Amino acid sequence: MEYAELVKLLEETVKIPIYGVLGKLRNNLIYLATSEGEISIYALVNGKSVKLTKSPIAVTTRPKSNLDFIPFARDVEKGKEIHAVYIANLKGEEFQIESPRVRISSLAYDSKRIVLTGSSQSETSIYVIENGKLSKLTTIPPFSFVTDINEKCIIGSGVLKGNPRSQEFFIINFSGEMQVLTPKEGSVTNAYYLMGNKVYLISDYETLGESYWVYTYDIESKEYKRVEIPIEFKPVEIYYDPEDSLVIAKRDGESRLFDNGKEIKTPRGTISGATRIGDEIYFSHSSLVSPYKIYKANREGKTEIVVDNRKVDMGELDYVKLKTDVDVPAWVIKRKVPGSTIIYVHGGPWSEVDNSWDLLIAPLVLAGYNVIAPNYRGSTGYGSRFMLMNIGDPGGGDLRDVVKVRDYAVESGIANKVGIMGYSYGGYMTLLAVGKEASKWDFGIAGAAVADWVEMYDLSDSLFRGFMEILFNGKNIELMRERSPITYASNVKVPLCIIHSQNDTRTPLSPVMRYVQELHKNGKTYEFHVIPNLGHAIYKVEDAIDLLLPALIFLKKLNRG
């Protein structure tokens, strides 16, 4: 493939729209899309898509069905994730409102107020915007998020009791008085929906570490109650919409949709949002080999495509579980012949590669590479015990899982060359892997990587210092240093492509520049690409091209050589 063809392929691939159903406003479908090259909020009005936001958005929330507007946050400092709050309405009008200049990580609203969590260098706080006026309600633990409000209170969740292996929920009134609650100590519990006096929870408290279910907490009686959902499928993760009686149930990286207990037949893959409008149910869906589409299903369960997408030839998709001291699930996308194989490591680390369209994986496959994407310990989607396994051990057991997947690629004959690639925490794992397991790889590609946890901690704001204190089970400077890729830079044996954004405030550039200096001092082979005026998040198609093109050119040069 010539360079011009490579650029064309990349542009065409990243322009394939991403869709995600958010909910509804006044019986109009509201969804996220990248149809015009940037992440925006759209409405489906009288069968036509209407763009509600004027430029890329960063943070949004579940729309309130009885209202005609939705708040969102936009990055206003060139990728540095300092946000301002806006509202957009069904007329396509957009208004900026008074808001703090902080990193906003969550939003919720009703007809009178918008509440948000915002992090500065020194603290994370809940702010309230009412009648156009901003006030700070209270400070909260840094890794906490608001999810819903009503006229009496705010709910949300986070690591609230100092135990990084549990999550609790909170209820705060508008005087700033806060209750921290849990149905069982040590459980992972998230409050996500308010209906009258009931708080809807997703928790693993009855099956600790194994799977989640839906419960309610009655604010007045203080009683917890399991929500009886009549489905035969046994999920590991579940979401229940009490307003629409819809369930999205998930296990082994794929999800199913249920309407009042009856399954709606969907293609194999992952559902990324659903809502009921009248007698019809709208949902967004994709797989690793099929881009996003929006469907609607009628009361008989018959589905049709409402918003279509391109068809692509992505190769053969397999799902395997490999054994270390745990089962490591992995998705395998194979081209027609054995060749260069990329072990793609997802970010987070509390995230996953499920069977849904992936903006970073698709261009690699379409360019001709086999891709294997492991869900290492610390991934979501396989129960809270699995998710919490890397707390106090980042770059330990999770790295062993990734190496096991690499060995599988070689031993099964999928790969003749095998490299590692990732973004954010995946970029961190890439740099650590080529330093600590140097003989295992033929190349590495690291985007937005963590190179030095200690320096990153010093540079971070309250939210990301809180994140690191959870991940490392405290401010464990010695472990941070021992698990930092810069400690092993002199061990690197293979060519590296390092791609980083100038304005990244989650994984700052400065430690990566020091890592590159260590590579240079030790005579290593590397490319280093700094993308100007871009941050950690990918808001536009052009952002994805800036980040992926150096990687694809690097891979082409390796294969040519």
Catalytic residues: 424, 504, 536
| Beta-carbon-side half-sphere exposure of residue 285 (alpha carbons within 13 Å) | 25
DSSP type of residue 545: H
| Beta-carbon-side half-sphere exposure of residue 374 (alpha carbons within 13 Å) | 31
* Rounded Cα–Cα distance for residues 149 and 172 (Å): 9
Return the structure tokens found at 291.
């881009």
**Taking Cα atoms as reference points, which of 515, 313, 493 lies closest to residue 428?**
515
Looking at residue 486, its amino acid is I
Burial 155-193 (b: 16+ CB within 10 A, else e): bbbbbbeeebbbbbbbbbebeeebeebbbeeebbbbbbb
Write the DSSP assignment of 174-229 as a string of letters. Answer: TT--EEEE-SSTT-BEEEEEEETTEEEEEE-TTSTTT--EEEEEETTT--EEEPP-
Q: Can you give 459-511 as a three-state secondary structure string?
A: HCCHHHHHHHHHHCCCCCHHHHHHCCHHHHHHHCCCCEEEEEECCCCCCCHHH
Return the structure tokens found at 430.
């890439």
On the question of a cis peptide bond just before residue 349, with omega within 30 degrees of 0, the verdict is yes
Return the structure tokens found at 277.
């409008």
* Rounded Cα–Cα distance for residues 193 and 441 (Å): 46
CB-count burial class (<10 Å; 0-12, 13-18, 19+) for 197: middle
Return the structure tokens found at 92.
């396509």
Beta bridge partners of 387: none
* Rounded Cα–Cα distance for residues 439 and 276 (Å): 53
DSSP type of residue 438: G
DSSP strand pairing (443-447 vs 415-423) = parallel
Q: How far from 408 is each of 316, 326, 328, 330, 346, CA to CA, in Å?
A: 17, 15, 11, 11, 18
Report helix angle 397-411 to 425-436, nearest 10. 70
